[in-house]
A and B are shown apart, each in its own frame.
Chain A
Amino acid sequence: MKFTLNWLKDHLDTEAGLDEIAAKLSMIGLEVEGIEDRAKDLAPFKVAYVKEAKQHPNADRLRVCLVDTGTEVVQVVCGAPNARTGMKGIFAPAGCVIPGSGDVLKPGEIRGEKSNGMLVSEREMGLSDEHEGIIEVAADSEIGAPFAQIAGLDDPVIEVAITPNRGDCLGVRGIARDLAAAGLGTLKPVDLSPVPGSFDSPMIWRRDLPEDAQDACPYVAGRLFRHIENGPSPKWMQARLRAIGLRPISALVDITNYVTYDLNRPLHVFDAAKVKGDPVMRLAREGEEIVALDGETYRLSPGMVVIADEAGPEGIGGVMGGEPSGVSPETSEVFLEVALFDPVRVAITGRRLGILSDARYRFERGLDPQSAVWGAEVAARLILDICGGEASHVVNAGVMPSAERHLSLRPGRVAALGGVEVPAADQTRILTDLGFEVSQSGEKIDVKVPGWRNDVECEACLVEEVLRIRGFDEIPAVALPRQGDLPDAVLTPAQKRVSLARTALAWRGLEEAVTFSFVSRREAAMFGGGAAALRLDNPISADLDVMRPSVLPGLAAAAARNADRGLSAAALFEIGPQYADATPKGQTRAAAGLRAGPAGPRHWSAAPRGVDALDAKADALAVLAACGAPVDNLQTTRDAPSWYHPGRSGALRLGPNILAHFGELHPRVLEGFSLRGPAVAFEVFLDKVPLPRAKDGKLKAPPALSPFQAVERDFAFLVDADVPADKLIRAAKGADKALIAKVDLFDVYTGKGVEADRKSLAIAVTLQPKDRTLTDPEIEAAAAKIVAAVTKATGAVLRG
């Protein structure tokens, strides 16, 4: 919402300056977004007198002018045909910035003649496209007078952001009222008195609305004006409209725009000669079309309100008028429309048609219903003043809806909710200044809400009005009382695990990424997703149109982007949501990671090695360990989903509960993301990791620190190549559970000395006696049990 300082002062009697007004606006909830003080920008440009304009000796079309600026006489070379001796124009001194082009004006020489400045055109001043000649000002203009003043551009423009609840401040008067209440002056009276008509309107309003849509346009008023002239509007009106970014068109159009911005009362005028029969407020019919004032053709649908005549729709109610019945310079009779429309219907209509007009913006926020009455008077006064002619009596249709709302305010509520004591008398004064009718009723203040404040609907709203005008600065800041000396734990155990998983992965050298929750359908399909229920109706692009089934597509795309930048060694992780369906339960949290390229940086001490599935397994196990999963009890199975390499992937599970997948990404997935070379990945499903039982607390059993020497024995077994190592380890562990403390697999060998379909697995078994030192025979006996158990489970043969 834009307005000028002088416009504001039409409604507000104030001594306050621009800065003070701006500061106050922001502090009462009308946030200032910008102030354009054109007098400041245009300060260098002043009225100057052309003492002499003579032909340039070396150029037919140029003149050499001696210009009196009031302080000096300057020579300027000018190409304008209207530059002549004795005229007054606008002089731009060398060094200033030309508004139209943004260029800095430099002193120079044109075909041998010095030129120290410029006589400017309207285009150069950024006012219009006019460049035929230079600006000429009246002969009695004072030399040296600022151009901004001469041109009526010395009125600063203020732009405020109006929140959706404050439709009333989409008119300058509403803003003035707020400022007056906040102590920045007094609200001037506005003349809303009736303008008598001199004849009966030949046109009347009719309403033809179904019973269930009476509120679509509950009331409409109008009157006819005849013998008018629709020339240009007065200069002052044009200047104000231009200042707020509107293009003056004709007196009638400008008047409707002016009233819209001045009093927040949208109006429309029909060229009466172009309306056939009485205008009717009705719902649009299927298939009806209208050419609106913006020149576009809109296809209407039932539910939209139209203003129609016998020929069809002539306007879209509350949104935009129609072109065929619009006014032109030849118009001599107009019919005025001052209507009330249902805000929701206007919003839907505007949204469906894609029209965001000044009228829609105001109607969908709600208007003061009474404005339909005084709007016809205000408009009449301006039309008669500016366009002449005569006005008919007012005609109307429908019933003025009752907008009366009564609320009560307990004065103590301001302190209880607002935290600041405001004397009841001050509360009454503030509400009165804002237009509320206030009366004392026992302990309470009875309040009648003015029609233009449809946003005020409960006691808390009244508290806000009081506090807002009083100023939030008045509220003392108080620390929130502590609920105890020490705060409780902030995170639940499940939330804490997220933090631990993140720390663990970062320590392992993976960089944390945050990628979008939506991916392309193609990417989702590679990870088993893309269901219709998870597709966005209105994605911002086809690449981001479905909720991701896994965190991995985002990481794979990220790795590919990094590879394109020359960073092919990527180690990335993300802890975030994945979506199985659109219900709250369908969203689960995964800690996923991806490694591509060589494992670790190249270094002099070690031969380079590519990442493999077991790097990903180690990452997954690190997350699980950080989350407190019983990692020693996990089984590794070979059943990873389809986006993993079937031979180089697995699942980590506790029985049927799958906690993680890991492995090399499937070559087709790599291809799908244009990833060169293998990449490995893991997904840990954090919600699946069992939580520790709260009742167990933090207590730990004491450790079994045996005083007796542990014994370590190595064994190498030959097994079939397809025997899982895990099976052998478990068999060894199970050979004597009381004695065997741990089994480490330290070598896997194939090649010379081992048959092609066999492999050698070497384990180190630690025997830990608890009550005595082991004797050699006991050690031998244990070793024999281990060999027997492993052989039985895996068909292994002990290597000699």
Chain B
Amino acid sequence: MEDLDHLKSSLMDEVAAARDPGALEAVRVRVLGKKGAVTQRMKTLGGLEPEARKAAGQALNALKDALAGAIEARKTALADEALSARLERETVDVTLPGRPAPAGHIHPISQTLEELVAIFGEMGFSVAEGPDIEDDFHNFTALNIPQEHPARQDHDTFYLPPLTPDAARMVLRTHTSPVQIRTMQSVEPPIRIIVPGRTYRADSDATHSPMFHQVEGLVIDEAAHMGHLKGTLIDFCRAFFGISDLPVRFRPSYFPFTEPSAEVDIGCSREGGQLKIGHGKDWLEILGSGMVHPKVLENCGIDSTRYQGFAFGMGIERIAMLKYGMPDLRPFYDSDLRWLRHYGFLPLETPSMVRGL
């Protein structure tokens, strides 16, 4: 038995000394292979007495198992070592910049528009659109703004040649209101639409752009009254600016196409030269609105003794500037990449009332 102990320890040393999988395999063959030391000894068992054979067999089997275990353990250790070495070799500088796939940005006008769609969509409005190049009827006459009316002077209209020699000149629409007319001419009430779009006025300075965007709203049914107008616009202002108790007030005003007409102010503070929307000492005008003038309904072939409703309009750039803090109007159209990246929105920020604006 001492002989076996000796053998075991010498073989164990050989296993431990194997430095790579090849050497370990060689040891295994030398020990456990057909001609291996242990296998050879097994072959000698046949010549022993049964009692002695049993004892020697058990001892040899134990030795065989121990060696097989040691070889397996060594194999795992060697694999672990090899893997560690490989991982060490494969190290990269993870502080290097990652592979770029830069996303662009959505323009604040588009984003604001989508916010408007999200809010008014919840209230059952759909989106209507119309042409930028309008005729005099849709832009003015049907909206109760006759030729030479002082209200026209405020419009700074761009003109284009008439479509036919004896027709009135075409205009670039000065507001989105002509789409009210086009909608009322083609759709039976009830109507609930918002109309976003490009609008044009021949005016250009730090606070005026010859092209800008408006959104118009129109509700026509048999019962919509000024209380609904107030409710709708208060709900809108609070949702848009995300201030649930935003003060909103309605002041009488004048638009040729509404009667009564109201301008809408929201509360703000100008303390320290910083404009902040919310509770404060000041008011800021952001919307025009009113009950649709019966003449406008009749101009569109809608029975004004049966139907009534309200309309409103606002500047998209203006409300975007108030909400997002752009100080100037002109950069909206300048396409300065730095500005677009700064004020633009990632395409994943799709406005939705469910997710919050």
Q: Interface residues, chain A, CB within 8 Å of chain B?
A: 26-29, 31, 163-166, 343-344, 347-348, 351, 364-365, 415-420, 458-461, 463-464, 467-468, 472-473, 475-480, 482-484, 487-492, 495, 499, 502-503, 505-518, 532-541, 544, 547, 554-555, 558, 561-562, 565, 567, 570-573, 576-577, 579, 582-584, 586-587, 600-601, 603-605
The reply to whether A506 and B105 contact each other, CB–CB distance below 8 Å, is yes
Contact A505 B251 (CB under 8 A): no
For residue A166, which residues in chain B have a CB less than 8 angstroms away from its CB?
254
Closest beta carbon of chain B to A239's beta carbon, Å:
30
Known: A492-B127, A572-B335. 20 other contacts (CB 8 A): A27-B251, A163-B253, A163-B254, A464-B259, A467-B252, A472-B226, A476-B227, A477-B234, A482-B124, A506-B104, A509-B101, A516-B210, A518-B210, A538-B159, A540-B210, A544-B210, A570-B337, A579-B132, A586-B133, A604-B96
Is residue B334 contacting chain A, with contact meaning CB distance below 8 A?
Answer: yes
Q: Is the CB of B228 within 8 A of A515?
A: no
- Output the least CB separation between A677 and chain B (Å): 16
Residues of A within 8 A of B230 (CB): 419, 472, 475-478
Let me know if B275 is at the binding interface, CB within 8 A.
no
Q: How far is the CB of A395 from chain B (nearest CB, A)?
A: 31
Judge if B215 is at the interface, Cβ distance under 8 Å: no
Write the nearest CB–CB distance from A397 to chain B, whole angstroms: 25
Which of B124, B190, B263, B291 contacts A488 (CB under 8 A)? Answer: B124
Establish whether residues B210 and A584, one from each chain, have CB atoms under 8 Å apart when the complex forms.
Answer: no
Distance between Cα atoms of A64 and B252 in the complex (Å)? 59
Indicate whether B341 reaches chain A with its CB closer than 8 angstroms.
yes
Q: Mark B256-269, 1 if CB is under 8 A from A, else 0.
A: 10011111000000
* CB of B97 within 8 Å of the partner chain: yes
Contact present for B294 and A460 (CB under 8 Å): yes
B110 within 8 A of A: yes
7 A-B pairs with C-beta separation under 8 A:
A418-B260, A460-B259, A467-B252, A490-B121, A516-B210, A517-B172, A565-B336
Are B294's CB and A29's CB within 8 A?
no
Q: Tell me whether A418 and B333 are in contact in the complex, defined as CB-CB below 8 angstroms, given that A506-B346, A536-B159 are known contacts.
A: no
Q: Is the CB of B124 within 8 A of A31?
A: no
Cβ of B174 within 8 Å of any chain A Cβ, yes or no, is no
A29 contacts B251, C-beta separation under 8 Å: yes
With both chains docked as a complex, state the minimum distance between the C-beta of B158 and any C-beta of chain A, in angstroms: 5
A590 to chain B, nearest CB (A): 14
Contacts A480-B232, A512-B104, A601-B102; A29 near B335 (Cβ below 8 A) = no
B150 to A: closest C-beta gap in Å? 4
Residue numbers in B under 8 Å from A420 (CB-CB): 226-227
Question: Across the interface, do B335 and A515 meet the contact criterion of CB distance under 8 Å?
Answer: yes
B residues 4-29 touching A (CB-CB < 8 Å): none
C-alpha spacing A475/B124, complex, angstroms: 23
Judge if B224 is at the interface, Cβ distance under 8 Å: yes
Residues of A contacting B252 with CB < 8 Å?
27-29, 464, 467-468, 472
Determine how close the nearest CB of chain A comes to the CB of B74; give it in whole angstroms: 40
Q: A480-B231, A517-B200, A537-B169 are in contact. Are A164 and B150 (CB under 8 A)?
A: yes
Question: Which A residues are CB-close (under 8 A) to B293?
Answer: 460
A659 to B180, CA, bound (A): 31
Residues of the B chain whose Cβ atoms lie less than 8 Å from the Cβ of A347: 148, 150
**A511-B347 contact, Cβ under 8 Å, with A516-B211, A605-B99:** no
Distance A570 CA – B336 CA, assembled complex (angstroms)? 10
Inter-chain contacts of A164 with B (CB < 8 A): 149-151, 153-154, 254, 256
Given the contacts A480-B124, A600-B100, A537 and B231 also touching, CB distance less than 8 Å: no
Do A490 and B161 have beta carbons less than 8 Å apart?
Answer: no
User: A664 to nearest B CB, angstroms?
Assistant: 21
List the B residue with the shortest CB-CB distance to A344. B148
Q: Is the CB of A538 within 8 A of B202?
A: yes
Least CB distance from B205 to A in Å reads: 10
Contact present for B110 and A512 (CB under 8 Å)? yes
B350, A503: Cβ atoms closer than 8 Å? yes
Of all A-B residue pairs in the complex, the 7 with the closest CB atoms, nearest first, are A419-B227, A29-B252, A163-B254, A464-B260, A558-B335, A490-B121, A506-B347
Known: A492-B127, A577-B132. A511 touches B224 (CB 8 A): no
Chain A residue numbers with a CB within 8 Å of B158 are 536-539
Report how far A20 CA is from B133 CA in the complex, Å: 46
- Do A511 and B104 touch (CB < 8 A)? yes
Number of interface residues of B (CB under 8 A): 94
Contacting pair B261 A491 (CB below 8 A): no
Residues of A within 8 A of B259 (CB): 458, 460-461, 463-464
- Is the beta-carbon distance between A475 and B121 smaller than 8 angstroms? no
Give the residue name and chain of the A residue nearest to B250 (CB). A472
Q: Is the CB–CB distance between B99 and A603 below 8 Å?
A: yes
B319 to chain A, nearest CB (A): 15
Q: Which residues of chain A have C-beta atoms less than 8 A from B249's C-beta?
A: 472-473
In the complex, B338 has a CB within 8 A of chain A? yes
Among B123, B204, B335, the one with the most A-chain Cβ atoms within 10 Å of its Cβ is B335
Q: Mark B329-354, 1 if CB is under 8 A from A, else 0.
A: 00011111110110010110010000
- Return A477 CB to nearest CB of chain B, in Å: 4
Most B Cβ at <10 Å: residue of A459, A540, A583, A605: A540
Q: B150's closest neighbor in chain A, by CB? A: A164
Distance A567 CA – B308 CA, assembled complex (angstroms): 54
Q: Are A603 and B97 within 8 A (Cβ)?
A: yes
Min distance, Cβ A643 to any Cβ of chain B, angstroms = 19
Closest B residue to A483 by beta carbon equals B124
**Are the CB atoms of A584 and B200 closer together than 8 Å?**
no
Q: Which of B104, B127, B170, B341 contacts A582 (CB 8 A)?
A: B170
- Chain A residue, CB-CB nearest to B345: A506
B121 touches A487 (CB 8 A): yes
Complex CA gap A350/B173 in Å reads 24
Cβ-defined contact, A503 with B149, below 8 A: no
Contact residue among A418, A473, A601 (Cβ-Cβ distance under 8 Å from B225) = A418
- Chain B residue numbers with a CB within 8 Å of A544 are 210
Answer yes or no: B125 CB below 8 A from chain A CBs. Answer: yes
Which residues of chain A are within 8 angstroms of B1 by Cβ–Cβ distance? none
Contact B228 A478 (CB under 8 A): yes
Contact of A540 with B204 in the complex, beta carbons under 8 Å: yes
Q: Nearest Cβ in chain B — how far from A117, in angstroms?
A: 31
Question: Closest approach, in angstroms, between the C-beta of A409 and any C-beta of chain B?
Answer: 13
Mask: chain B, 120-140; 1 = CB below 8 Å from A; 0 = not: 111111110111110000000
List B contacts of A459 (CB < 8 A). Answer: 294
Question: How near does chain B come to A119, taking the closest CB pair, in angstroms?
Answer: 35
Bound Cα distance from A547 to B210, whole angstroms: 13
Q: A536-B159, A600-B100 known; A480 and B219 CB under 8 Å?
A: yes
Q: List B contacts of A516 (CB < 8 A).
A: 210-211, 333
Q: Give the residues in chain A near B121, CB-CB below 8 Å.
A: 487, 490
Interface assignment of B235: CB less than 8 Å from any CB of chain A:
yes
Partner of B332, one of A479, A491, A514: A514
A29 to B250 Cα, complex, angstroms: 10
Q: What chain B residues lie within 8 Å of A541 (beta carbons)?
A: 204
Q: Which residue of B lies closest to A166 (CB)?
A: B254
Tell whether, in the assembled complex, residue B250 and residue A475 are in contact, meaning their CB atoms are under 8 Å apart.
Answer: yes
The closest CB in chain A to the CB of B292 belongs to A460
Contacts of A586 in B (CB 8 A): 133
B261 neighbours in A (Cβ, 8 Å): 464
Q: Which of A29, A460, A511, A538 is in CB contact (< 8 Å) with B341?
A: A511
Q: Is the beta-carbon distance between B161 and A604 smaller than 8 angstroms?
A: no
Contacting residues, chain A, for B334 (C-beta < 8 A): 558, 561
The reply on B295 being an interface residue by CB < 8 A is yes
Q: A472-B252, A600-B100 are in contact. Are A488 and B336 (CB under 8 A)?
A: no
**Residues B294 and A458 in contact, CB atoms below 8 Å apart:** yes
A420 to B291, CA, bound (A): 14
Q: How far is the CA of A347 from the CA of B146 in the complex (A)?
A: 12
CA distance A553 to B293 in the complex (A): 41
User: How far, in whole Å, are A749 and B306 apart by their CA atoms in the complex?
Assistant: 75
Asked whether A502 lies within 8 Å of B106 as measured between CB atoms, the reply is: yes
Q: Give chain B residues whose Cβ lies under 8 Å from the Cβ of A473.
A: 249-250
B132 touches A517 (CB 8 A): yes
B106 CB contacts on chain A under 8 angstroms: 502-503, 506, 512
* A490, chain B: closest CB distance, angstroms: 3
